[in-house]
Structure 1
């Protein structure tokens, strides 16, 4: 069964990427060496995730952790879903109640997949988050 889980998160990453590029320091013509390196890593992450190649999960963990440490004012531009998706160290930046929400969402997704029944990640996410 094809799941919309990966495409949903890839789309969120692209939205976050575009949002980050519209804010200082990434909207500047001249980037510092550190900012240019971060942008390059972000570009590579989007590409790797699009191709589903390499260790993009580990790269995502590293990039989001670096974002929190070096650009904390930009963290609100990144959907919280990506912290859950990449996991690892990123989970340290999520409160327990937020983790519980994403655990519930994953449990519902896994139950549907194990029963081979249709599952719409985005709709279920909206319901659990109270967005409908």
Structure 2
């Protein structure tokens, strides 16, 4: 079942929140501002569905902070979130990955314009295939 573009990213944010909570519970956080960071993260989760555009900067800020505050989990940040929030988050993506997400966004836009269904994850897998592989 395909979910909406926003729902997909909200699910990824919730997954990332779980990782952040586990990090705190494992006492792998050195400062006492972790709880405040989680509060801001929860604010993003609650505000994003009602005002996506207005909360993109908060998302960029929080995702970028994860790379600086919690480098031990940077590899666990879903790449889709970097693209979704854009801005400073794109500094954490190599050019080839940015190109992949640009093509993916173009396909999503085209599907929306034609009122066609679009499965973000399926399309991402298809685009990630090597050029010489068979796409069915």
| Cα distance in 2 between the residues matched to 1:39 and 1:76 | 19
- Structure 1 residue 125 corresponds to structure 2 residue 118: no
2:50 to 39, 52, 55: 52
- CA shift at 1:117, angstroms? 1.9
| Cα distance in 1 between the residues matched to 2:61 and 2:22 | 21
| Cα distance in 2 between the residues matched to 1:119 and 1:100 | 19
- CA shift at 1:125, angstroms? 1.7
- CA shift at 1:32, angstroms? 3.7
String of CA shifts for 1:26-65, please: whole Å, max 9, x gaps.
214x98432222111111111112x323722111100011
Q: What's the C-alpha RMSD, in Å, of the aligned pairs?
A: 2.1
Q: How many residues align?
A: 125
1:18 match:
18
User: Do 1:20 and 1:77's aligned partners in 2 also have CA atoms closer than 8 Å?
Assistant: no
Q: What TM-score comes out, normalization by structure 2 length?
A: 0.81
- CA shift at 1:5, angstroms? 0.8
- CA shift at 1:11, angstroms? 0.7
Higher-RCO chain (CA-CA 8 Å, sequence separation at least 6):
1
In the TM superposition, 1:26-105 aligns within 5 A as: 26-27=24-25, 28=27, 32-49=31-48, 51-53=49-51, 55-105=54-104
Q: What TM-score comes out, normalization by structure 1 length?
A: 0.83
